[in-house]
Structure 1
Amino acid sequence: MAARYEGKLTVSIDPSSIPNFGGQPQQPVAPQGPVVPDQDLVKQILEQMELKYLLDDEGDLAAPWEKFRTYFMFRGEDEQQVFSVRTFYDREHSLDDKPALLESIDDWNRRTLWPKVYTHTHDDGSVRLIGEAQMLIGMGVAPQQFVTSTVSWIQASVEFDRWLVETLGLTSEVDGSDDDKQDGDEA
């Protein structure tokens, strides 16, 4: 069993070692032993990626983009603690669009590892998408695994939005905005 990490974890992340989907070789990140990641480590990762972030009313860390928000949440206790990266896509769809949405996201979920995407139907009948990836961290994880997974999940969340726009033919949105820009970035 890994010892629970009680101090502040400082990780040096070389920006050139942040993975892309092309599979760059990774550099080791210190410390080498298992740690239980925390919000400070996620902040360090976001800062290294030069991404803006904020804390919401519930104390969860969030990175806002123009058409979606990605949250970094820690839930549970001790050995059952889970780290979740959950992306809420703001684009509204109608109930009539739901069958086509389900077909599209089923295709995405079959062909990719993350994020796993699902629909949420609101009381007003609008349908929105949510993407999610999770990691059990209560027993500790290797820092490099945590960093690599977190960065990959962020990149995949952005890529899903691009893929959905292309798949559903939302070209007017592509022509009018840049979905991979974070809130506050200049076009």
Structure 2
Amino acid sequence: MSIDPSSIPNFGAQPGPQPTGGPAGPVVPDQDLVKQLLEQMELKYVVDDEGDLAAPWEEFRTYFMFRGEEDQQVFSVRTFYDRPHSIDDKLALLETIDDWNRRTLWPKVYTHTHDDGAVRLIGEAQMLIGTGVALEHFVSSTVSWVRASIEFDKWLVEQLGLEKDADAAEGDDEGDAPGDDA
């Protein structure tokens, strides 16, 4: 099975040619199909030590995982946001991501508190694929989930003013140590 490049949604761009032909029935997606889709989206990817496919960005990593038994198999797109947050900021962070979760379909975002007290965010979307899905549905959902994961990171930076924090940290690197009020 292969992906017709015209079937990849272009969200916001002028509509391209509509896909024609393709499989008559449902397909059961696999890692090779996801690799092909990522290549067509011009996204770099790696396969980790556990055999999961991951697309790395500067501030997060998105994994494309297949889990479960054959007839109950689930395809999961899970994004791990690398930016650490303080445990003291967790309540405000939860309120912010609750707002995102109420307003959007995906990714659904939750927190994970590490042993060192750092709070990180994880976004996730899932699809039951064990009995097969329409190829067009699989492609459009996967593309939408990847784009929404990127949009969430941008939205969070804007909501929490993290862009200003990053700019201030760059200024600190130029001679002033954090906390110096000389």
- How far apart are the structure 1 equivalents of 2:167 and 2:85? 19
Which amino acid in the other structure matches residue 9 of structure 2?
A: I
CA RMSD of aligned residues (A): 2.0
* 1:179 matched residue in structure 2: none
- How far apart are the structure 1 equivalents of 2:160 and 2:56? 23
Q: Is the 8 A contact 1:19 1:152 kept in 2?
A: no
3-state SS in 2 of match to 1:86: strand
Q: Answer yes or no: is 1:70 the counterpart of 2:62.
A: yes
Q: Higher Cα Rg: structure 1 or 2?
A: 2
Shift of 1:21: 6.0
Q: Is the 8 A contact 2:6 2:16 kept in 1?
A: no
- How far apart are the structure 2 equivalents of 1:69 and 1:28? 30
Q: Is the 8 A contact 1:11 1:31 kept in 2?
A: no
Alignment of 1:42-57 (within 5 A): 42-57=34-49
- How far apart are the structure 1 equivalents of 2:167 and 2:38? 28
3-state SS in 1 of match to 2:5: coil
Shift of 1:84: 0.0
**Residue 115 (structure 1) aligned to one of 104, 107, 111:** 107
Shift of 1:26: 7.6
Report the number of matched residues: 167
Q: Which has the higher contact order (CA 8 A, sep 6+)?
A: 1
Residues 102 and 26 (structure 1 numbering): CA distance in 2 closer, same or farther, change over 3 Å?
farther
Give structure 2 stretches of 5+ with no counterpart.
169-182
Residues 18 and 159 (structure 1 numbering): CA distance in 2 closer, same or farther, change over 3 Å?
same
* 1:183 matched residue in structure 2: none
* 1:20 matched residue in structure 2: 11
**Residue 148 (structure 1) aligned to one of 129, 137, 140:** 140
- How far apart are the structure 2 equivalents of 1:42 and 1:10? 10
Which amino acid in the other structure matches residue 114 of structure 1?
A: W
Q: TM-score, normalised by structure 2?
A: 0.85
* 2:130 matched residue in structure 1: 138
- How far apart are the structure 1 equivalents of 2:14 and 2:161? 29
1:40-72 CA distances to partner (integer Å, 9 max, x unpaired)?
A: 110111001100000000000000000000000
* 2:178 matched residue in structure 1: none
- How far apart are the structure 2 equivalents of 1:81 and 1:23? 35
Shift of 1:172: 3.2
Give structure 1 stretches of 5+ with no counterpart.
1-8, 177-187
Which amino acid in the other structure matches residue 137 of structure 2?
A: Q
* Bigger shift: residues 20-29 or 62-71: 20-29
Residues 106 and 57 (structure 1 numbering): CA distance in 2 closer, same or farther, change over 3 Å?
same
Q: Answer yes or no: is 1:86 the counterpart of 2:86.
A: no
Which amino acid in the other structure matches residue 121 of structure 2?
A: L
- How far apart are the structure 1 equivalents of 2:41 and 2:107? 19
Q: TM-score, normalised by structure 1?
A: 0.83
Shift of 1:28: 2.7
Identical aligned pairs, as a percentage?
A: 72
